[in-house]
Chain A
Amino acid sequence: MMAERVIPHERAGFADLACRLRGARRTLLASLTICLGLMSILALTIGPVSIPFERVLAAVIGWNKADQTEIIVLSIRLPRVVLALAAGAVLGLCGAALQGLFRNPLADPGLIGVATGGAFMVALSIVVMSAVAPSLLAELGPYALPVFASLGSFAAIAAVYALGRRNGALSSADMLLAGIAINAMAASGIGYLTFLSTDEQLRTLTFWMLGSLSQSAWEQILPAAALATACSLALMFNAHALNACLLGEREARYLGVDVDRLKQRIIILSGLGVGAAVAVTGVIGFIGLVAPHIVRLMAGADHRIVLPGSALVGALILLIADSIARIAVPPAELPIGILTSAIGAPFFLWLLKTRRSAIQ
């Protein structure tokens, strides 16, 4: 119909452009992966006791907890690194997916109450469930907190979603405002539970609110890391649909995307994923907000790069923050939420001030 209008070199130009965009995407993902690999090795070597690289490698390959060094690497540092990777990745990815779904660059699992909702349920299970239904907690064992945190996150995100509906259409502004309200409600609930708690419970609660990767024994982190990783992988498959959503919900539907299904899927996956991460690490702020923006600044808004890129950047930020947390004030540890927010908040402010350039 329009074939006569196209000259061959134009088509070649588009092939070139497509190639360049794809090449840039691959380069970024490859360099992020390399950084993450190097940082993981670094995180295994540094700490109160410095362990040389070849011993770390020998310990990981041999998987033999014979001497003290090997125990430090395999039972203390490796699970932390695994947790940092899984939790950072799922936080970054959920942030990217929610921002895409809401078509709002300020959406984030923290801002819309997902993390606080999870923390509230964890607080509830620590303070109330332990008194009311201790057998249920014992039954669930190491899965108890991830399960409760996921339920809380899921309930928060479902509430935000239901409250954000107006005349059958979702309003981003309503949803964010509802999220802030849910956040406040969950926070006040946590405050009340804090008031009720014993000294020991209080310490555990404080740990949740500030976040830390220090309680990472293998049996605790494996179920959570597995769930977070599964959710991350499942979220990756929604890149095309999320791209279409950037045009607008109606436009996405016109392109054949079942938007309602997509929303359900993203919400269930981010509720479960963030819930699982929050359950083991406590509330870790700003990664979900900041990681996708870093990727967009570097490589544009195509979700085929934003989703995997945010996962890598999120994992990288959390790994760096955790390494600083471990070595900053030995033998004590800084809560990690302090570090990610201390790095994340100024970045966020800078982002607000320069939003135009970040977006264009």
Chain B
Amino acid sequence: MTLELRDVSYTIGGKTLLDRVTIAVPAGKITIVLGPNGAGKSTALGILAGDLRPSSGEALLYGVPLARLGHQRLAKRRAVLTQSQSIEFPLTAYEIVALGLLPHHWSEAEQLQALAESFAAADVAHLAARSYPTLSGGEKQRVQLARSLAQIWRPSGQGARQGDVRYLLLDEPTASLDLKHQVSILDRCRDLAQAGLGVLCVLHDPGLARRYANFAVLMSRGRVLTCGAAQTVLRPDAIAATFDIDEDHARAALSMDTGWKPSAAP
């Protein structure tokens, strides 16, 4: 009972971007995908989001192919935070976040509650009246996060309804954020997972992954190398093999003790 890729390959223009990939996004857990550039992480996320159609294999939500569900029904069930695109038109942050309400038909009071909670959770309430193009990269990313949160918000009492598991897919959400907001965006993901949502997050930082992941998927060159419970997957040797680095660096990337000390000041 998950959102999942089963044996998915994706080929475009004769190039195979994904080769028989199987990934599950279980409800109530954070699944983190790691891998070097060009590993196929974003492609996998695009297929899980229903944007790209697998060339072979299946992308399923509760056993139903995503293509059959259609954009509108998918939009009510999952939100996607992509690497933010520039917007050339003077929309306010408020208007951007309110777009997250588009798939839903909520009462005005519910809409306001959804917006207020989403703005607060993404720590952007103070930016609501600002024009989006004037925000910094990190602020834009957080406003987009608030929009995604608004999309998967539920009126109180409806959150845990049977068969209404929601999913949040994030593509390198920490890329343009300062340390505080990197941690805080992943804290929000943890809150959401604890509330029963399925969270999939593509990350670059194995250290952050180790701290937040329940499940981890290591990808390279369009294939899944290893996947499973985070503590068994995120080991120095596996990270070293995935990113093609030596184990010392892998330990450092995982924020493990490497025995390295800064040299004392002369």
Contact = CB atoms under 8 A, between A and B. Distances in A.
A246 interface: yes
Contacts of B129: 17
Contacts of B195: 1
Contact of A359 (B72, B85, B88, B120): B88
Contacts of A243: 91, 95, 99, 102
The main secondary structure of chain B at its interface with chain A is: helix
B102 A240 contact: yes
A251 B82 contact: yes
Contacts of A246: 87, 89, 91
A301 B128 contact: no
A256 B71 contact: yes
A358 B134 CA distance: 12
A332 interface: no
B149 to A, nearest CB: 8
Contacts of B229: none
B138 interface: no
A302 B156 CA distance: 29
Given A1-B195, A6-B116, A360-B134, A250 B94 contact: no
Nearest to A261: B71
Contacts of B13: 167
B49 interface: yes
A21 B92 contact: yes
Interface string B1-25: 0000000000011000000000000
Interface stretch (A7-15, A40-48, A141-149, A193-201): A7-15
Contacts, number: 129
Given A1-B192, A17-B128, A253-B71, A247 B89 contact: no
Contact of B117 (A5, A15, A240, A358): A5
Contact of A14 (B79, B95, B128, B191): B128
Contacts of A254: 49, 51, 71, 74-75, 79-80, 82
Q: Classify the secondary structure of A's interface with B.
A: helix
Contacts of B89: 100, 103, 105, 246, 296, 301, 359
Interface string B60-102: 0000000000011111100110100101111110111011101
A255 B164 CA distance: 17
Given A18-B112, A302-B91, A3 B117 contact: yes
A334 interface: no
Contacts of B79: 254
Contacts of B76: 256
Contacts of B36: none
A3 to B, nearest CB: 6
B116 A296 contact: no
Contacts of A105: 88-89
A87 B157 CA distance: 51
A18 to B, nearest CB: 7
Interface in A2-38: 2-3, 5-6, 10-11, 13-15, 17-18, 21
Interface of B: 12-13, 46, 49-51, 71-76, 79-80, 82, 85, 87-92, 94-96, 98-100, 102-103, 112-113, 115-121, 125, 128-129, 131, 133-134, 149, 151, 156, 159, 188, 191-192, 195
Given A254-B51, A255-B100, 6 more contacts: A11-B116, A14-B119, A105-B88, A256-B73, A296-B89, A296-B90
21 contacts: A1-B192, A2-B120, A2-B191, A3-B117, A5-B117, A14-B116, A14-B128, A18-B94, A100-B89, A243-B91, A243-B102, A247-B87, A248-B82, A253-B50, A254-B75, A255-B75, A300-B92, A300-B95, A302-B95, A359-B88, A359-B133
